[in-house]
Structure 1
């Protein structure tokens, strides 16, 4: 202890050394010792805003009410400096909130004087006195007025009445009852009976169904105005098709006219109440193909019931294909969460039930009735067994196919279906937090807001919170408002949109306006039949379509806000920032640095002012590329390319994402310093990028996104980065749109690309990974021809090949969640030959962990635990290559191949960020470390054990 009574803990706390503080406290240092000024370690940490240390000391049960020489307690200091999280913690743990300091000030006086309104709300919520007076006889309200803090003064004026404040506080407490409703999200092809099923759930008979359907569709059609001056295009095509066969040999997916005029347009949203009194918010997703491009913004939450409809009178093959499409669609768009359970089952699986509509008596005559009252047949049982087995890791699929006849309210299947909804609703509500009492008042207030903003029911998040505080509850803090908006979304009352780029968030207070009126109109068959084939529109062009919207730019802002922000992985960021090749455009190297996946549109020229800006809508692109879009006169160029496909079994899932990929590519151009460096042309299902003398073509080819790149031989190093950047755009955008899809890279034969073969041979990922395991440089393509790895992946550049870290050298600690789930699904179940996780433990020298791993039972995957333990105990040797070799020894080639397909084929090792340059001949000046790798490559064998930098892959 020093002369001023300052202890080591005082010193460490004042200077922000959190590790020292933790060490001292754990060694027994007193957290309540005071120095000569009466200050504890907590006082000193707060005065210097070391919040982490303050929260740590509070968690160690220090005395929160000790006064220093000025009679300031820790909460006085936190209020003065605006340390909101500390004030909340102190209040939650019962700190004294009405204590006064030497100036007679309470914490509320100080917060009001300093203008910290969130802290004022927090103090008032826990009962701080609003009438206490300081030495000058001033209440906190008067202090706020004198310090020109009008918002705080207004807040304190509203809660002067204790009865009013009690009511406000009560509203911010959890309710005793659960949420009043949950969402039903209904998917299915057109004419699969979705609308009629919803009406039958409401207890309407056939006549009521007919009247409602006609009136609703009539109002929908009236609200949709066709553009007055647009070019007609008879040939309508789309890159999405739910009904398309998995045979994907055609590049274009024709978008036919709807089979009936009253098809669901966009997303219909409506509340319903069953005869049992159970409430639901029903979201009916139209089956028409063009709408699928934007559905990911409304799918992904697991706290709802997903319903897939098929027709009972369709052929079994059609039923299965449609159910499979929508199951894959949902799987791709629902983000899996940890921990991984036994057999690869993820936490919080989504609820799914498959309903066979149009189950007339003639259909049911071909079924048998089970003892529990369900109708079934051998085809239905086989289909449900297959679907449940295939999707059990991600979905809790109801075991029976529900046969219902929507025109018959006494249908036994309908009663069973309602009972399922009731039971599942109670299960979901049981796992959700209780809502705030404020929620009911807010729902009532929303009806007022909808009338006020009827023409354009969208307000900013900041304005929404201000309205809630001004007109509903002035004590609602930021955290209360966040809880409120989450609960409003869960019950289907609002849609929340985030715009990270402009840092403005929006609240759509009428979801059906966005889903049906806006999206339903812009992506309808009528609009697409007349839209400009160039896909380009200015905000003013929408005036005739939506005349009620006074500011068309507001609409285009919302359409350009339907996106998610993408964070670039360490692999790509390192690659882009450290590329040593000056011939590769600098602006192109940041292609992925700031990436957006807007839903429908992107400005053609971001430099234009708002009044002249023109937006490109790739979903409206129907123009065909010119015949010479990829001319055959570049025989002296080097060629390379790949096809990016969804994982096996998830075919047809990338088709609806391609317009979004085109938007993402267009957005990148806005980040370039010199737009002349890179040009982008786009047509239906195809885009072309040009940079310097390099060219790239990106197109939808069946279930794959195909990328081809070519350039002069001296630019071969730049070509690989060009290809990597474009592939990164495709992969990162797809992952953001559909996080549940694992993607595979199938490289294309450079020899065939140069010869312009219509269907070039390819190299599946398992072939390339097997080549790496064999430490060979040549690989055999799908046509049986041998080519060099450096030609296939690196455009023949050995300088680039020297910088690659092979996929087999990646640590197993960096396996993605889908990879781990697939391994768990394969290795967790007992194997007849004993080739499961228990033998794996022995092979990994982890036999001593078997009892502990086995004790977790069904809660956590045994395989996943072993992989994690192995990566911790053997970080140097726990690589993908070693793991695959062990799987091969066990005879589990299925698990090995699954891993081969889901791990990166290679990574770019860290490159020294120095003065490295390419000489005029294209040769790179490289370090001795890469000289070693190059010499090995020259010998014809690329050894995975060659010296390399550590992996830069980031999950």
Structure 2
């Protein structure tokens, strides 16, 4: 809208009450009109006959957006109307906290009294707006100011029965106390004193011993070295720690054995023991087997350090020796490492069942990650182990923008890879003077790290070297020194970029200690209660915003865990992370608790009451587990899909529906992200539990005459649907909803992974073939590009697209927007990162981003794009510019054609695997009580 008026016309008072055009626009809430008036010279502080400005009028009518605009244009917020009210009085009356906060930041008088002697503080106290009362007190409002009736704001609050406001005002009556509270809400000039160190690896990787080695003084005395050397020389295993520990000081040594036969095997990684955590849920044990048995165990091949999901029945039932005495859950301790500073160390168990809930504790990049592997004679085994953990971390870190050069994410996780081994200790009086030699050569280590860096550098800042640490050494080996140096630099770098801590943090930590004593049996409070406690017990001026800032800093230093419950919109603060990680999860996934599980994974209240007798209300405990999404309520029990060991019945999907239509697909993780869906599938079962019957690795659902089967097949989740031909339209929505639910759950658990839809042959599904043929995303997208309706499956057979995707329904097919027609603006950050990684580097034949710019008719944009250097991805900038300038033609199909013309079929194939194969234009659906979207044909 454009208005061209002279100053006299635009500021003329158009009505008897003296309202100008600006007043009228503010009253009516016409934002665009008001903007035009201001641009054409309207006087922002013009008053009507009641003394009100446009800002007064906007606030009186509740138009907050217009009030913010007027304040931004320099409106004088100290002007009083005929009643003596300023805009701040009106904001306090209406409870407009944002407006009050903005006015307080303008450094205008805030104690102006109206004709009744009421200041804005009096008004806020009268109308019960505690947030505005806090804001005014922080800004220096006079709490002793009296009205014409001689009432302070505290008395006004009591008169209106706002006791919580009266208590607040009573606490800040003394100026010295108020200044203390105000100062606590400012930031310090120094960084936080601690960040998290998260340690990952298999049960026998030596994580706990590595942590203890970092605690050890870098230069141990000769006496201590001798004592520790003798102790270790005769210990049964380096990876068994004492059941007691201290937070600082030298590492704990194993118990001493008199069996001399173990002298030559003291550093062996026993296949029957695991790397116990310092706070392990189970008590430590020591091996007392004879030297012959130990020798025989050493000759056995090392166990598979990472098994394939789903885990075996032995693991669940507690008969698996590898996990019998090992750590479960997460060991959490605050430690001070020699020469490295303070860390909150989170030692994640390698026990696979507990991996399903790690996403609640992994994903933040403001910490250091160590991936620990046990060096062996087979580097390929180590490489597979590292691939699993790095893929695990990559999947759980949310991609951040902007996309940097070659696809680098804006906030990459800091990662170092540590290889542990037991070598010959030259400092030991029982060993020769030859130096320790790791079982992996330098060339092997360099080659492995080069490959890992190429695969993961877009998401991780990976230390370039494999840090080899000899856990048998009594003083720092070279690898441990390099690790200390890495921790120092990484800690300093992370702390420098973090926001400086509030002065409120130290008083809050002291209060947390009291809170932990009070709630020692169940150290959890709701977020609402936490935001009540901090102002009530620590600082009365702390607002919800201060509480959010405080909780973020408490999480960064490892003092609390914030659990969000999206379904019930009720968030929890776990004030003792050790209780959650070690006691709750450690007990839940322990050998003893596994023995109480039923094959159907269902547990009663009594089971939890016996396992956690200290918790008064078992329902509260189960609520935390539901928030962690590891169980679901199945009246009267709770079902844990991770504990289900019963196999699906033989007749779960009988070939007795020859007249039914069949369709299905497999949801696979992106290539290179193997063993991802196994840890996610139990969470998928939790999401679907209200409407499905669960078995191990499999769930079945009935909806009217239609049936659905969702099961884990290798590294993919398979969804099959069958139903009568008369319900073909309903079946496609049924399939789409279940597929979306699987993909959504996968994205919530692992936002850093991309998934692909591989449709299955309806013909083969109807024939109940064990390995039905599939249609890859590339084949389906190529079919769309060629404007064909026939696609060829992996067995070379041709089928119609409508049969594969739409149950043969041409009506539903007409509602689809094909993948080739989707705009490039809808590409996800992970996909854009991968495209940048392929097109940003200079190509010997020129087939890179520069030629892409010419093909996209964006040659004129080359200088500006090139001027960003390597800070931003040139490819990503070009695609963004293309989507803006030619929105109508900037489609996936057009981009794929251009990539083919450039000879970059590798990029085109990647693009086809990452984009949606289709989207629904409209979905005439009804949401049932099962949360499954259906139409009227489905019961």
Q: TM-score range by the shorter chain?
A: 0.7 to 0.9
Equivalent residues in 2 for 1:764-913, closer than 5 Å: 764-910=776-922
**Matching of residue 643 in structure 1 with residue 666 in structure 2:** yes
SS for the counterpart of 1:183 is strand
TM-score normalized with structure 1 length: 0.85
**Matching of residue 724 in structure 1 with residue 732 in structure 2:** no
Give the structure 2 partner of residue 62 of structure 1.
Answer: 75
How far the C-alpha of 1:86 sits from its partner, in A, is 0.8
Give the structure 2 partner of residue 393 of structure 1.
Answer: 458
Give the structure 1 partner of residue 539 of structure 2.
Answer: 473
Contact 2:340/2:484, CA 8 A, preserved across alignment: no
SS for the counterpart of 1:503 is coil
SS for the counterpart of 1:421 is helix
Give the structure 2 partner of residue 592 of structure 1.
Answer: none
**Matching of residue 307 in structure 1 with residue 370 in structure 2:** yes
Equivalent residues in 2 for 1:363-512, closer than 5 Å: 377-407=442-472, 408-512=474-578
Contact 2:202/2:306, CA 8 A, preserved across alignment: no
SS for the counterpart of 2:653 is coil
How far the C-alpha of 1:360 sits from its partner, in A, is 2.2
Equivalent residues in 2 for 1:242-261, closer than 5 Å: 243-244=305-306, 255=315, 257-259=320-322, 261=324
Give the structure 2 partner of residue 24 of structure 1.
Answer: 37
How far the C-alpha of 1:291 sits from its partner, in A, is 0.7
Q: Which shows bigger deviation, 29-38 or 447-456?
A: 29-38
How far the C-alpha of 1:388 sits from its partner, in A, is 0.9
How far the C-alpha of 1:146 sits from its partner, in A, is 1.2
How far the C-alpha of 1:244 sits from its partner, in A, is 4.3
How far the C-alpha of 1:134 sits from its partner, in A, is 0.8
How far the C-alpha of 1:364 sits from its partner, in A, is 7.0
Equivalent residues in 2 for 1:722-761, closer than 5 Å: 722-761=734-773
Give the structure 1 partner of residue 209 of structure 2.
Answer: 196
**Matching of residue 132 in structure 1 with residue 162 in structure 2:** no
The alpha-carbon distance between structure 1 residues 69 and 316, as it changes in their structure 2 partners (threshold 3 A), is same
Contact 1:647/1:742, CA 8 A, preserved across alignment: yes
Give the structure 2 partner of residue 339 of structure 1.
Answer: 402
Equivalent residues in 2 for 1:540-555, closer than 5 Å: 540-555=606-621
Cα distance in 2, alignment partners of residues 192 and 888 from structure 1 = 46
Contact 2:593/2:611, CA 8 A, preserved across alignment: no
Contact 1:72/1:101, CA 8 A, preserved across alignment: yes
How far the C-alpha of 1:222 sits from its partner, in A, is 6.3
How far the C-alpha of 1:511 sits from its partner, in A, is 0.5
The alpha-carbon distance between structure 1 residues 112 and 497, as it changes in their structure 2 partners (threshold 3 A), is same
**1:532 aligned to 598, 610, 623, which one?**
598
CA deviation digits over 1:370-406, x for unaligned, max 9?
xxxxx97111111111111111111111111111123
**2:632 aligned to 589, 602, 627, which one?**
602
Give the structure 1 partner of residue 131 of structure 2.
Answer: 118
**Matching of residue 516 in structure 1 with residue 582 in structure 2:** yes
The alpha-carbon distance between structure 1 residues 242 and 97, as it changes in their structure 2 partners (threshold 3 A), is farther
SS for the counterpart of 1:283 is strand
In structure 2, stretches of 5+ residues that fail to align are 1-11, 218-224, 233-237, 246-276, 285-302, 426-433, 927-934
The alpha-carbon distance between structure 1 residues 154 and 251, as it changes in their structure 2 partners (threshold 3 A), is closer
Give the structure 2 partner of residue 33 of structure 1.
Answer: 46
Give the structure 2 partner of residue 278 of structure 1.
Answer: 341
How far the C-alpha of 1:409 sits from its partner, in A, is 3.2
Give the structure 1 partner of residue 412 of structure 2.
Answer: 349
How far the C-alpha of 1:499 sits from its partner, in A, is 2.2
CA deviation digits over 1:513-553, x for unaligned, max 9?
11111111112233224311111123233111100011111
Cα distance in 1, alignment partners of residues 537 and 580 from structure 2 = 25
Q: Which shows bigger deviation, 442-451 or 402-411?
A: 402-411
The alpha-carbon distance between structure 1 residues 872 and 336, as it changes in their structure 2 partners (threshold 3 A), is same
User: Superposition RMSD on alpha carbons, in Å?
Assistant: 2.4
Give the structure 1 partner of residue 6 of structure 2.
Answer: none
**2:243 aligned to 214, 218, 223, which one?**
214
Give the structure 2 partner of residue 675 of structure 1.
Answer: none
SS for the counterpart of 1:357 is strand
CA deviation digits over 1:107-135, x for unaligned, max 9?
11111111111111111111111101110
Cα distance in 1, alignment partners of residues 74 and 730 from structure 2 = 59
Cα distance in 2, alignment partners of residues 260 and 641 from structure 1 = 37
Contact 2:281/2:587, CA 8 A, preserved across alignment: no
Contact 2:779/2:791, CA 8 A, preserved across alignment: yes
Cα distance in 2, alignment partners of residues 785 and 537 from structure 1 = 48
**2:656 aligned to 621, 633, 647, which one?**
633
Give the structure 2 partner of residue 7 of structure 1.
Answer: 20
Cα distance in 1, alignment partners of residues 204 and 570 from structure 2 = 39
CA deviation digits over 1:15-42, x for unaligned, max 9?
1112222222233322122122221111
Cα distance in 2, alignment partners of residues 849 and 760 from structure 1 = 48
Equivalent residues in 2 for 1:94-243, closer than 5 Å: 94-203=107-216, 206=228, 213-215=242-244, 220-221=280-281, 243=305
How far the C-alpha of 1:220 sits from its partner, in A, is 4.4
The alpha-carbon distance between structure 1 residues 540 and 283, as it changes in their structure 2 partners (threshold 3 A), is same
Contact 2:423/2:438, CA 8 A, preserved across alignment: no
Equivalent residues in 2 for 1:543-622, closer than 5 Å: 543-562=609-628, 599-605=629-635, 613-622=636-645
TM-score normalized with structure 2 length: 0.86
Cα distance in 1, alignment partners of residues 627 and 281 from structure 2 = 26
Cα distance in 1, alignment partners of residues 488 and 675 from structure 2 = 33
Cα distance in 2, alignment partners of residues 319 and 377 from structure 1 = 14
How far the C-alpha of 1:869 sits from its partner, in A, is 1.2
CA deviation digits over 1:300-325, x for unaligned, max 9?
11100111001123520111111110
SS for the counterpart of 1:142 is helix
Contact 1:367/1:377, CA 8 A, preserved across alignment: no
Give the structure 2 partner of residue 568 of structure 1.
Answer: none
Cα distance in 2, alignment partners of residues 222 and 315 from structure 1 = 31
Cα distance in 2, alignment partners of residues 367 and 245 from structure 1 = 25
**Matching of residue 325 in structure 1 with residue 376 in structure 2:** no
Equivalent residues in 2 for 1:71-90, closer than 5 Å: 71-90=84-103
Cα distance in 2, alignment partners of residues 24 and 321 from structure 1 = 67
Cα distance in 2, alignment partners of residues 622 and 415 from structure 1 = 46
**2:726 aligned to 714, 724, 729, which one?**
714
Q: Which shows bigger deviation, 410-419 or 635-644?
A: 410-419
The alpha-carbon distance between structure 1 residues 321 and 645, as it changes in their structure 2 partners (threshold 3 A), is same
Cα distance in 2, alignment partners of residues 831 and 53 from structure 1 = 53
Cα distance in 1, alignment partners of residues 856 and 205 from structure 2 = 51
Give the structure 2 partner of residue 585 of structure 1.
Answer: none
Cα distance in 2, alignment partners of residues 429 and 183 from structure 1 = 11
Q: Which shows bigger deviation, 544-553 or 251-260?
A: 251-260
Contact 1:37/1:68, CA 8 A, preserved across alignment: yes
CA deviation digits over 1:805-829, x for unaligned, max 9?
2111111111111111111111111
How far the C-alpha of 1:102 sits from its partner, in A, is 1.1
The alpha-carbon distance between structure 1 residues 401 and 848, as it changes in their structure 2 partners (threshold 3 A), is same
